[in-house]
Structure 1
């Protein structure tokens, strides 16, 4: 019986193919490992914070009034006969504005004059009676009692003359009130009463309003804390001394443009408002061309000086959940998000109260993609520092 061996002998060619396949797979694996992306720390500009002097810009809502704002009201009742000017017109002091029917008041004057003449005649008559009785009393023809009665009548007649003169003066005043003139120079407001209207001193609505706006007052308010800080900025032992040392202020108009003339703070109210807890200040602005009118609104722009302050660009901050943060760079070039407390603005920079201090380094730009603890490559460029200084 013959036994057949079924075991196959290894083929040399197959061995070579298998070996080449293994080598190829190894090389491909190594190549994939070399091509795997390696995380590279981003290069970002960094600023070293330093103390500096700064001026913060603060704006307060203001209401504008003329130096004189008066209501023109009639002081006597009657029909409005004439209106001498139009709404919005400029008038000078003493210029006629309105004419009220004067005939009733002229007749009152005539009556008062007649009463005065009658009183003067009564005085003459009383004087004649005294002159007649005086020698008769001396010669004891009549009693002294009659002379005393005559002298008393004379005094009554004298008093009646004084009273009649007062009535004449009052009638003249009322007659003069029929001519309504401008108490100051300024601009006329609306004219709710037209010619022919019946006017009275008891009317709720005035004939018009008159504003002297060659200068205007801008009234604004400071909170108690702001007022304490405001006083601390300037030298002087009294409020009056501090007002003298205040710098000029700017008025920002409703369209956010700056008024061409600078103003001066010249008044601080004597007390705080109990309801609002604020105190009112007044700034005066020249207004020779009449650009500003009573009733305008705007903002008083103040610049407050700060020494040894910390400034950082607004572009280096990020706002999240009503808080403002910066990214501080540690010694190992890792960043951490730090909340900051802002007390004002100086140009495009924030004035910082808390959160960072001199010597800290912050990331200037590219912060929107940074993560807490991420490593960066700081780039301390001179251009970044120059840019910060130029923005002050």
Structure 2
């Protein structure tokens, strides 16, 4: 019995050793006799690509006018409603004009008196002139009469200017639209007392048949922006810029393209950014002043390295691909992503044309595993060779 127990112990020990060796062989990856796992592999090729960058923009009408009173008085009539579209010259507000009409009448009366005094002085000059020529009276009287005429003439001119000022003030009682556009809020209602010293305007009028989109570029983005387009000056570069697109607040693409027409003269010291302006047509009035959106700029990259996003994995804010060497062994390779073009990453470092990477099934790969390369089942969305 003792011998049988010894034989059984040796048998169990040998069995455990066999299991351990088998387990080690399995965990070591590909064994000498195992078939390598199949994986889709593509070869990187360089080509031209277009990336799109988006910048937050504030939208304003081409003309934004604050409508303010030029004279003080009670608001007698309000001819428009909030949000209404008005044409240039259309009446908006009427200030009580009775005091200003009386001022005008008073100024006209003063003018009539001044003109009468001037005419009387002219008669005195005309009467004394022949008498002086015939030496009937002294020329001193004539010179005094001529001086009186000049005084009367100056008084008449002053009275005429007063009439003009009164007419201007009377005209200010009817406030009309300086441009065509949309009326904003109306904080002052009929019967309110208004004056030039009011902090709040009567309303704001926005001409939005064209809208301006103001957005900012950082210093690095601006340097790259300038280097991309031909021209010896910023003015020449502006002429060569392609059209830009506008994303509205709901992320829908605006139906019209715009044109960058202005670059600010200096960088903002607080933000380190420079402001650009793009102009968009807005014939339908879909955009109003105060809207927000994003200006989308397209940029062309020549001889760019593109990698499908599906062929990458992100670990701790870094992007990796599984590179395949000549022996079909895979290794995790970090890449530097500088932009996106469609479903592809634009890569500046980590890969070059001719390198092979695993296209799909990255979750099942292990570092150093040997694979069997296969062509992708679906065509990659960039210029690559299988």
Q: Quick check: TM above 0.5? A: yes
3-state SS in 1 of match to 2:351: coil
SS in 2 for 1:248: coil
SS in 1 for 2:166: helix
Mapping for residues 365-384 of structure 1, pairs under 5 Å: 365-371=360-366, 373-384=367-378
The equivalent of 2:231 in structure 1 is: 236
The separation in 1 between residues aligned to 2:365 and 2:18, in whole angstroms, is 32
- Three-state SS of the structure 2 residue aligned to 1:389 is coil
Q: For the residues of structure 1 that align with 2:135 and 2:39, how far apart are their CA atoms?
A: 128
Report what 1:55 is aligned to.
50
Runs of at least 5 residues in structure 2 that lack an aligned partner in the other structure = 31-35
Q: Which has the larger radius of gyration?
A: 1
1:387 corresponds to which residue? 380
Tell me if structure 2 keeps the 8 A contact 1:57–1:347: no
Q: Tell me what 1:326 maps to.
A: 321
1:67 aligns with 2:65: no
How far the C-alpha of 1:190 sits from its partner, in A, is: 0.5
2:351 is aligned to: 356
Q: Distance in 1 between matches of 2:199 and 2:233?
A: 43
Structure 2 residue matching 1:109: 3-state secondary structure = helix
Distance 1:104 1:25, change over 3 A: closer
Name the CA distance, whole Å, in 2 between partners of 1:64 and 1:378: 55
Alignment of 1:1-392 (within 5 A): 38=26, 39-40=29-30, 41-371=36-366, 373-384=367-378, 386-389=379-382
Task: Give me the CA root mean square deviation.
Answer: 2.7
**TM-score, length-scaled by structure 1:** 0.88
Q: Which segment drifts farther, 142-151 or 362-371?
A: 362-371
Change (3 A) 1:153 1:340: same
- The superposition leaves residues 321-351 of structure 1 with CA deviations (integer Å, 9 ceiling, x where unpaired) of 2222222222233322222222111111111
**Partners of 2:327 and 2:305 in 1: CA distance:** 24
Distance in 2 between residues matched to 1:354 and 1:31, nearest whole Å: 47
Question: In structure 2, what is the Cα distance between the partners aligned to 1:217 and 1:160?
Answer: 51
Q: What CA distance in whole angstroms lies between the structure 2 residues aligned with 1:50 and 1:167?
A: 82
Equivalent residue, structure 2, for 1:7: none
TM-score using structure 2 length: 0.89
Give a deviation string over 1:103-160, Cα, whole Å, max 9, x none.
1111111111011001000001111111222233233332211110110010111111
Give, in whole Å, the separation in 2 of the partners of 1:128 and 1:159.
17
Structure-2 separation of matches of 1:148 and 1:210: 59
How far 1:275 moved relative to its partner?
Answer: 2.6
Listed one character per residue, the Cα deviations across residues 255-287 of structure 1 (whole Å, up to 9, x for unaligned) are 111111111222222322233222221111111
Structure 1 alignment gaps of length 5 or more: 1-14
Q: Which moved more, 1:179-188 or 1:218-227?
A: 218-227
Question: Does the 8 Å contact 2:263/2:277 carry over to 1?
Answer: yes
Contact 1:43 / 1:376 at 8 angstroms: preserved in 2?
no
Could you tell me which residue of structure 2 aligns to residue 8 of structure 1? none
Change (3 A) 1:26 1:354: closer
Offset, 1:382? 4.7
**In 2: Cα distance, 1:32 partner to 1:213 partner:** 81
Q: Which runs of 4+ in 1 moved over 3 A?
A: 24-42, 368-371
Structure 1 residues 30 and 136: CA distance shift in structure 2, 3 A: closer
Task: Quote the Cα distance in structure 1 between the aligned partners of 2:170 and 2:370.
Answer: 90
Do the aligned partners of residues 134 and 333 (structure 1) sit closer, same or farther apart at CA in structure 2, a change above 3 Å counting?
Answer: same
Helix, strand or coil for the counterpart of 1:337?
A: strand
Q: Secondary structure at the match of 1:219?
A: strand
**Structure 1 residues 33 and 143 mapped into 2: Cα distance closer, same or farther (>3 Å)?**
closer
SS class of match (1:141): coil
**296-305 or 330-339: which moved more?**
330-339
